[in-house]
């Protein structure tokens, strides 16, 4: 079963959810803003997606810009910021047991589903 880390207010996240429905995929919706991820869960997601923490940061958010030295944070410090401010996590992210994808743009998710 897939998991989609979803924000219902985000158009891209809703598009990804619609694609999963259209493709008749089994999935679980994780509302990560209501149920924030912990450090270990976020690390597992990054391993599955093969992404560095900075790759899933929404850099235009005020919380990111307000962080001192945000341009020179270590990966660990970025992870801690993402845990503290879940709004900073780029969305949507879709994962299986072994792999995952940042489904932005939606073509990333389409490619991921071909190999799932």
Nearest to 87 by CA among 25, 20, 1, 9: 9
- The per-residue pLDDT for 9 is 96
CA distances from 13 to 40, 44, 50, 73, 91 (A): 23, 20, 20, 27, 6
* 10 among known catalytic residues: yes
Check whether 8 has a pLDDT greater than 90: yes
- Residues above pLDDT 90, as percent of the chain: 98
Q: What are the structural domains of the chain? A: 2-114 (3.40.30.10)
State pTM to two decimals: 0.95
- The per-residue pLDDT for 116 is 84
Catalytic residue among 6, 7, 10, 94: 10
């Amino acid at each position: 079963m897939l998991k989609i880390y979803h924000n219902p207010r985000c158009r891209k996240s809703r598009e990804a959810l619609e694609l999963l429905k259209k493709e008749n995929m089994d999935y679980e919706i994780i509302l990560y803003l209501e149920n924030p991820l912990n450090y270990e869960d976020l690390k597992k997601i990054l391993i599955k997606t093969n992404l560095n923490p900075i790759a899933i940061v929404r850099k235009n958010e005020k919380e990111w810009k307000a962080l001192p030295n945000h341009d020179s944070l270590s990966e660990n410090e970025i992870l801690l910021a993402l845990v503290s401010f879940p709004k900073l996590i780029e969305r949507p992210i879709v994962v299986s047991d072994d792999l995952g994808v940042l489904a932005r743009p939606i073509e990333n998710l389409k490619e991921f589903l071909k190999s799932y």
